[in-house]
Amino acid sequence: MELTKEIQKFLLNDALERFLRYVKIWTTSDESAESVPSTKVQLDLGKVLVEELKELNLDNIVLDEYGFVYAYLPPSKGFENVQSFGLLAHIDTSPAVSGKDVKPVIHRNYDGKNIKFAQDKDLILTFEDSPNLEEYIGLDIITSEGDTLLGADDKAGIAEIMAACNAWRKFDKLKHGPIYICFTPDEEIGLGIDKVDKNKIPEICYTVDGGEMGEMEFECFDAWLAQFKFKGLSVHPGHAKNKMINAIQIASRYFSELPESEAPESTEEREGYFHLAKMQGGAEEATARMIIRDFILKNNQRRMDYIKSLKQTYEIRYPGLKIEIDFKYQYQNMVKYIEKKPIVVDLVKQAMEKVGLEVKTHPIRGGTDGARLSVAGIPTPNIFTGGQLFHSRKEYIPTLALQKSAEVLLYLAHLWTQQK
């Protein structure tokens, strides 16, 4: 099978149109919530996707109470017995940066100069921010106006999957087996996938949630969440000597004890880190939220042991202070589960080569819904979307990536039809 220029143009136009529409729909998740979906606004995009899937004549379309959207694409005639697979992308955007009222901007025929933003004159996107940007000179690039993130993570993935579904519907030459679609809520806060209905997805899946073109990932962080509560004692500052236990001030000192060399801004590649994501409170009580990441479990255990030893030290140092720490295991490194079925990775590599991309495999310095699914026995590698600088007001994506990711999905489906 070879994709014609007609199909390639169709994919670009369709994915681009959908992407520009989806990013304007507010879907930020809320990390303080405990229910799924964490925000009702995620349902707004879910409802749009249901109607669009109906227009594409997919079957078994469902928007459930948790915000999951499910659909089924029946196989081409004669390919009913081909191995089925699922395609997943997440609906929510990161709460790290505002995702409300996103206004996408297309920078036509990018000339290699610094990219400026209409809503923040001091914000500039440069090669230093993203070396890959230099590779996209001459292409069209999409950013926000600089007051929000863009939302390519992961609305690009949704648009690419939808464009592929539209192409499968429109072009009879594109043969495929049974394909399941699942759009998930609350991936960014690690909650949504707990509520997935495993009866509605097959035994092999792919998340379309990666970064640069050609990227394919099947190893991710081992991930923990640590939540802290510092309990002190507030006393009038004029009479506080030897009485006040200033929780927020002590918490600041406590976290300053963490090694600066193990912060996200000081690490790369296979290096792990502590990341203090949030701290708030006052003299009486302070709370904090931290994520702990590494590719090796024992390294994270070392970090948690250090945190617990600091707790003991500080409670001795400040009599009356109480520190509560709650650790939560968020997801495991998925590599050992995916390696049991290497064909799921091998076919993605072949599909990327067919669309003319250099295959780039490296560990994800983060996680996807695929990590949880892989541990549950559903190997789920991650395919690129083409977006860069996720969770940032400098987030961007070349429009060509929308096309190329959709092309990979078409070839991937074709390659599965060739397996016996």
Gap between the Cα atoms of 308 and 98, Å rounded: 34
Average pLDDT in the chain: 96
pLDDT-above-70 percentage for the chain: 100
- Assess whether pLDDT exceeds 90 at residue 417: yes
**Cβ distance 175 to 167 under 8 Å?**
no
Q: Are residues 207 and 237 in the same domain?
A: no
Q: What is the DSSP code string of 41-57? A: THHHHHHHHHHHHHHTT
Q: Are residues 116 and 17 in the same domain?
A: yes
CATH number, domain with residue 268: 3.30.70.360
Average pLDDT for 182-194:
93
Catalytic residue among 14, 30, 92, 186: 92
pLDDT digits (tens, 9 = 90+) for 359-396: 999 888 888 899 999 999 999 999 999 999 999 999 99
Domain end residue (candidates: 297, 331, 365): 331
Q: Are residues 302 and 337 in the same domain?
A: no
Catalytic residue among 52, 187, 215, 222: 187
pLDDT digits (tens, 9 = 90+) for 46-57: 999 999 999 999
Q: Are residues 113 and 213 in the same domain?
A: yes
Q: Are residues 310 and 343 in the same domain?
A: no
For the chain, the domain total comes to 2
pLDDT digits (tens, 9 = 90+) for 39-90: 999 999 999 999 999 999 999 999 999 999 999 999 999 999 999 999 999 9
Enumerate residues 6+ apart whose C-beta is below 8 A from 202: 84, 85, 86, 178, 180, 378
Average pLDDT for 312-341:
95
**What's the confidence (pLDDT) of residue 376?**
92
Q: Are residues 213 and 170 in the same domain?
A: yes
**What's the confidence (pLDDT) of residue 34?**
86
Domain end residue (candidates: 331, 363, 386): 331
Domain that holds residue 81: 5-220+333-417
**What's the confidence (pLDDT) of residue 206?**
98
Q: Are residues 187 and 243 in the same domain?
A: no
Average pLDDT for 140-144:
98
Average pLDDT for 407-411:
98
**What's the confidence (pLDDT) of residue 43?**
98
Gap between the Cα atoms of 228 and 291, Å rounded: 11
- Assess whether pLDDT exceeds 90 at residue 259: yes
Q: Are residues 182 and 316 in the same domain?
A: no
Q: Are residues 140 and 267 in the same domain?
A: no
- Assess whether pLDDT exceeds 90 at residue 208: yes
**What's the confidence (pLDDT) of residue 420?**
77
**What's the confidence (pLDDT) of residue 362?**
85
Helix (H, G, I), strand (E, B) or coil at 407: helix
> Known catalytic residue: 92?
yes
CATH number, domain with residue 153: 3.40.630.10
Average pLDDT for 246-250:
98
Whole-number Cα distances in Å, 108 to 122, 153, 312, 361:
21, 21, 57, 30
Q: Are residues 194 and 227 in the same domain?
A: no
Average pLDDT for 330-347:
94
Domain end residue (candidates: 303, 331, 359): 331
> Known catalytic residue: 268?
no
Helix, strand, coil fractions of the chain, as percent rounded to 5: 35, 25, 40
Average pLDDT for 292-303:
96
- Assess whether pLDDT exceeds 90 at residue 199: yes
pLDDT digits (tens, 9 = 90+) for 120-133: 999 999 999 999 99
Q: Are residues 93 and 237 in the same domain?
A: no
Q: Are residues 272 and 378 in the same domain?
A: no
